[in-house]
Structure 1
């Protein structure tokens, strides 16, 4: 199995690293790919370049042999849909189960994603729950959860896609939006960031202006 962990990573923080480590440990993975996405067109630019986001990710994952970057969404022209990336990954890995790691907040809104039901047929969805977050789904998404949820890791290993697994483990209450606000006041070492990312931010004087 391989795992994909998508996000803007603006900035990548200890909560992201914790999620990825728990996923690797739980599923005994050889590789988990961090897949930074292009910033959504409807959002204001954060003032952080793509290259700086990549730089922070490289700094964060350097100590971990199981972590790699997949930059396909940053290199793609046109919409940065998860569906397109998963379609490409499935073609590249036709016989390998793919895990798509997301947070509970993303899962609660999965039915708003572009062709979300097609996504669930290309991979297994692995949901990680942060503090004070709860599953709150209705309609087709609730039906998918009831039909696909499993607690058996072997069910994911023995099929290519279609399962839903809620990943439990250590939780850290870190959010990129909160960290950005803190960094605007001081770009010195932040306890919610890996040391290497704090150093990168300080060296490059990031997050010191309004997004």
Structure 2
């Protein structure tokens, strides 16, 4: 194994570890009810009050999972590495590690505008940093030789899904806090639509 390949593998393993820790820390922010009674109704009420925390956990779990899947996909396309990828990757991981706090702030303050803006802003920052990292990584001389240009175009286009949805959620948070998070459900749709449009543009340009 070459030195560069070994360093790329270390960078990937380190990134995977940060993603795994961040996604696990999400559940720590859901505090277990300790009522000291045996009343079923009291526990049902306590669990119901945790609904915003459950929803925040699910939402952030899916978002971090999608970020990891994209990171895994892109780094699987690489054959080489240099120090120019380290800082963008570290900045992305910094925001990923911060997401449990942003999630807890948003979940603990449902219907509050500032926590929703803070959460959407955190997601937007993660999306922009990921797009920056992918833009630097998906080019020569880092790419494997067998990677098609159409695949590179599609992956780059897909990386706009999160920042686009997060920006819309940020704007909507001003008028509909909490409900703005439903916009984030568009991420899977945008992640399919953007690559298709990019492939069509590439096909039209090379026809």
Category of TM-score, reference length = shorter chain:
under 0.3
Query: Given the two structures, how large is their TM-score scaled by the length of structure 2?
Result: 0.23
Task: Identify, as 1 or 2, the structure richer in helix.
Answer: 2
Task: Identify, as 1 or 2, the structure richer in strand.
Answer: 1
